[in-house]
Chains A and B, each alone.
Chain A
Amino acid sequence: MSQNLLELKNISHFFQLGEGKKFKVLQQISLELNPGEIVALLGPSGSGKSTCLRIMGGLLKPTHGSVMVEGKPLSGPNPNVSMVFQSFVLLPWLSVYENVALGIAPLDLPEEEVRIRVKKVIDLVGLEGFEEAYPRELSGGMKQRVGIARALVMERPILFMDEPFSALDVLTAESLRKEVLNIWMSKKTATSSVVIVTHNITEAVSLGGRILVMGTNPGHVRVAIKNELPYPRDEKTAGFKSLVENIHDVITEAINPDTPDWIPPAFMASTVEALPPVSISEVIGLMEFIATNGGRADLYAIAQTLGKDFGQILFFAKGAELLDFVDTPKNGIVLTDLGRRFISSDVNMRKKLVHDALLQLKLCQLIREQLQAAPNYVIPHAEVVETIHNLLPNEDSEKQLETLIQWGRYGELFGYNADVQELYLDVGQENT
């Protein structure tokens, strides 16, 4: 019987928030990792993919469900796993050689054997000649090579990569990705299977034999896509492109609250949506662009015309969509009637429209209710942050509040006094 390397059985995970409050980060995740495959966990921030990886690595103990390694339940760090980190996590006071050797330090091997093993992986990742260099002397790409070498030297069957290339520039990321794939295909290392966490669709498609697309609130696997394109994969082939497009459709649908075909209705009611990290002016900018384009545009085309990152444009779109100013059918983006009214309005009317739209948002409603209940309609900064954290534990609450304040100020829903660090209800506006 062929045995899987690692198995997640019905994993659900909660983050414990103070005073007995809990927030669900992961819901009902089951996953088998087979020998010799690459699994990509793809999803937006807040879909719990890093949490999932840490549970598989034994760094976090799941609230429910079990992690099985070689048929036995896992407790403590997973001994079959090595890991590459987004931020490299190199020790600046150790040379490249010493950083790599740290990976096998607990084995207490004789010096000669350490040298042989370290030399082998250093050659493999292309760091020859840099053994005595210190991390600060290296570029980002070279640093991540050290991170990869440290993982490979451990000679463990499973390699975890947590957004390994997202701190690198595009070209470096692409070439390093290819090299990692080559190393894995060459079978020169002990690495049998790889789990990579990413938010980059192309990356997932070019590496993943299985791609698990994850959704948010709580994190769950929306769809598992088997990718049987032969390695190494050429991004220019029709098969590759169509797969990217398909996955893209799956993801963009997630930002479209109108067609929640995958969200159980019972859950919808209580869903609090996170605000994308964009300012109102950026959202308006996007809408103006669509308006000049005849009220309809293609998200890709917008990204290209504006010279912006596609992910950024998705955020703008999500912002506009939360306010019900646009719809996002497939790749396109269309102004709604409300959106058209907004574009043709003057500033005061625009503020009024944003005001009304914000009142439809669960997050704004809850904060406003809290404000109305507070003495003098004032809540201190820390308290709001905590509320947001309780509602959206996977988001950066400070960032959420920042966006909320910015939007709320525009919509004259509430204001923020930076001197005393308090959020206050814009009472004047309430009375009119």
Chain B
Amino acid sequence: MYSRVPAVLDRKFSYADLLLLLIFLAFLYYFIGLARQWNGAFHPEAAIDLSLWALPKYSFFSLIRAFVAYILSLGFTLIYGYAAAKNKTSEKFLIPLLDIGQSIPVLGFMPGLVLGLISIFPNSNMGMELACIILIFTGQVWNMTFAFYASVRAVPTPFYEMSDVVGLGWFRKFRKIELPASAINLAWNSLMSMAGGWFFLIACESFTLGEKNFRLPGLGSYMAVAIEKDDSHAMTAGVIAMSLVIIFTDFLIWRPIISWTRKFRLEEVEGEIEDTPFLTMLLRESKLIKVLKDLLRAFKRAPVRIKEFSQEALPSALFPIERQLLQSEQTKRRWKWFKPKLKAFFSAFIGTLTGILIVWIGTRLWELVRVLNWIDWRLILIGTFYTMLRVFVALVLSSLWAIPFGIWVGLHPKLTRFFQPIIQLAASFPAPMIYPLALTLFFKIHVGLSISSAFLMLLGVQWYVLFNVLAGAISISRELSESFDLIGVSRKDRWKKLYLPSVFPALVTGWITAAGGAWNASIVSEYVLYRGTTLKAAGLGSLISEATASGNYHLLGGCLIVMVISVVGINRTLWRPIQRFAESHYRFER
């Protein structure tokens, strides 16, 4: 069963190995560059080289930032999501807190993070790099955490009964049951999260904070400088580089992972098509990987060996056997007495801590916004109204094309297979990078930013609507469709009575996600860099961007409060009831 390591070394190497080796070397080369950048002398406004040759390096830097941010997101997700799912007390405040975090646009985190981290690392770029990574993290993390939390909550009770009978500890339960059960959801949401992180890449790498410019070497800064200098060649090159990065990560990372997670589905679906992604094939071909796998296996068994040794040889040498038994029995009893007390204490501790945190943040916010006068508040409220209008327009326009197109594609398996990867890639592309192009078109037909910024929002969020409609359309009951054929229902009635109701629950989910995304996107679509100048459209997003850039943190605080209240408030009062209605009226029972 386990082949020893030396036996595989005589395997012949293949082209796949060569390719892997090249990729590895390229990574190594750029890693050295990255290390230099991180440890280099503090340089808040990096000079950006707009030549083509600099692009691979910048792309790599951005990619690494996104991945480090992703790893942070994953770690946060596992801890936070698990805590929320397993502890009723913590769930009560962790979930609303997540809702609030999700509704704060990236700029809301910026001043604190950037200024704080730079003051911690005053002499190197480390602080700015970390700040940038955490900013990207705030664009990625939320949906992953929600997905993981929901997946753990959905593990059926008998599995817990089984693990109690067997006597699995919490870690085994987590590793063998809860983590695998949420793997599929986590993988899909990781893909979406990466896209979410890319979306604000320009804003995260290159920004102005209180009249001071900050810029990190990366693809986002490259685009920012290209837009500033109105260099259309560089802009095109940047867009292509971004596309390549997305295609690269999609093919080499997400698809293999998603296809691998298919084995973790809890319910059994028959007749599913399983395709083998490129990287899986590459890895299967490669002998290098096989050697690595064998090595890994040997390593994996090492702790078991050590454990065996420490359990058998060590203790019996140290203690007589009776004392061991007595001790373990005693510890067990003590633990049993101690455990509930520890739990209660922990809950109380976390509760108090959150309480203090909330009060502290509350007072800080109050101090911050106290100086705002009614003119400021009026400005904020009017801006909120405009932004809300744009969000609404973006949703309506998205729906107008995405609903018919999604249903049309979803009804035909062949079209689905053709369009799904394309849509996935298009959706991952950060829309702000093509804002200048889109604006050029709009200005040609004399549409001002005030209106066209709704279209800019649309560029980013239409995909959420499309994705969900597509998913809904794929699962339209075939039996119903066939019975409609038999009855001879007209085309119009078919849409009205079958297709639209069937996709409605998924559509509502799409709307909620899109609306949240659109609010968030307002900070970049109402305040756009275009041909070296900054264009603004009246709205909450542009207020936030302007406040950040000019260092008016009082106004920023006020805007953020209003934004969180608007987004969370609309979610709770408008979307939730619609969602409940959709679930109860248009959901097929399984």
Contact = CB atoms under 8 A, between A and B. Distances in A.
Interface in A209-262: none
A89 B263 contact: no
A102 B167 contact: no
B158 A105 contact: no
A77 B180 contact: no
A106 interface: yes
B169 A92 contact: no
A302 B584 CA distance: 39
A81 B176 CA distance: 21
B165 A59 contact: yes
A81 B165 CA distance: 7
Contacts of A85: 158, 161-162
A397 interface: no
Given A91-B177, A91-B180, A77 B164 contact: yes
A111 B304 contact: yes
Interface in B562-582: none
Contacts of A102: 166, 168, 176
Contact of B265 (A54, A58, A92, A105): A92
5 contacts: A83-B161, A83-B162, A92-B264, A93-B180, A102-B166
Interface of B: 156, 158-159, 161-162, 164-169, 172, 176-177, 180, 183, 263-266, 268, 301, 304, 307-308, 311, 336, 584-585
Interface-centre pick from B165, B176, B264 (highest chain A CB count, 10 A): B165
Interface-centre pick from A89, A103, A110 (highest chain B CB count, 10 A): A89
Contact of A91 (B167, B176, B584): B176
B162 A134 contact: no
Given A59-B161, A105-B172, A134 B263 contact: yes
A87 B158 contact: yes
A125 B552 CA distance: 73
A22 interface: no
Nearest to B311: A108
A225 B176 CA distance: 42
Interface string A98-116: 0000110110101100000
Nearest to A86: B158
Contacts of A87: 156, 158
Contacts of A82: 165
Nearest to A109: B308
Nearest to A77: B164
Contacts of A54: 161
A6 to B, nearest CB: 14
Q: Which 4 A-B pairs have the closest CB atoms?
A: A106-B167, A89-B162, A83-B165, A89-B158
Contacts of B183: 93
A94 interface: yes
Interface-centre pick from A75, A87, A91, A421 (highest chain B CB count, 10 A): A91
B176 A77 contact: no
Nearest to B584: A421
Contacts of A105: 166, 168, 172, 176
A63 B585 CA distance: 40
B172 A75 contact: no
A63 B265 CA distance: 37
Contact of B166 (A103, A110, A111): A103
B168 A106 contact: yes
Interface string A154-168: 100000100000000
A154 B177 contact: no
A67 to B, nearest CB: 15
Nearest to B307: A108
A92 B307 contact: no
A118 to B, nearest CB: 13
A111 B305 CA distance: 10
A332 to B, nearest CB: 38
Interface of A: 54, 57-59, 75-77, 79, 81-83, 85, 87, 89, 91-94, 102-103, 105-106, 108, 110-111, 134, 136, 150, 154, 160, 419, 421
A134 B266 CA distance: 12
A174 to B, nearest CB: 24
Nearest to B177: A91
Contacts of B307: 108
Given A89-B158, A94-B176, A102-B176, A136 B268 contact: yes
A57 B165 contact: yes
B263 A93 contact: yes
A58 B165 CA distance: 8
A226 B159 CA distance: 34
Contacts of A79: 167
Interface-centre pick from B166, B167, B307, B336 (highest chain A CB count, 10 A): B166
A93 B264 contact: yes
Contacts of A81: 165
B172 A110 contact: no
Given A79-B167, A81-B165, A82-B165, A92 B263 contact: yes
A151 to B, nearest CB: 8
Nearest to A57: B165
B500 to A, nearest CB: 17
Contacts of B584: 421
A89 B167 CA distance: 15
A154 B166 contact: yes
Contacts of B162: 83, 85, 89
A93 B268 CA distance: 11
Nearest to A82: B165
B284 to A, nearest CB: 18
B433 to A, nearest CB: 39
A150 B168 CA distance: 13
A89 B165 CA distance: 12
A180 to B, nearest CB: 18
Given A76-B336, A87-B156, 6 more contacts: A83-B162, A83-B165, A91-B177, A102-B168, A108-B307, A134-B263
Contacts of B311: 108
A77 B167 contact: yes
A92 B165 contact: no
Nearest to B163: A102
B268 to A, nearest CB: 5
Given A102-B176, A134-B263, A136-B268, A89 B159 contact: yes
B180 A75 contact: no
A213 B307 CA distance: 49
Contacts of A91: 159, 176-177, 180
A103 B180 CA distance: 18
Contacts of B265: 92
A75 B336 contact: yes
Contacts of A154: 166
Contacts of B172: 105-106
Nearest to B261: A93
A421 B166 CA distance: 43
A77 B162 CA distance: 10
A77 B165 contact: yes
Nearest to B268: A136
Interface-centre pick from B162, B172, B264 (highest chain A CB count, 10 A): B162
Nearest to A381: B584
Contacts of B266: 92
Nearest to B172: A105
Contacts of B168: 102, 105-106
Contacts of A59: 161, 164-165
Nearest to A110: B308
Contacts of A58: 164
B473 to A, nearest CB: 25
A79 B162 CA distance: 13
B264 A106 contact: no
B456 to A, nearest CB: 39
Contacts of B164: 58-59, 77
Contacts of B156: 87
A76 B172 CA distance: 18
A91 B311 CA distance: 29
A220 to B, nearest CB: 24
Contacts of A150: 166
Interface-centre pick from B167, B263, B311 (highest chain A CB count, 10 A): B167
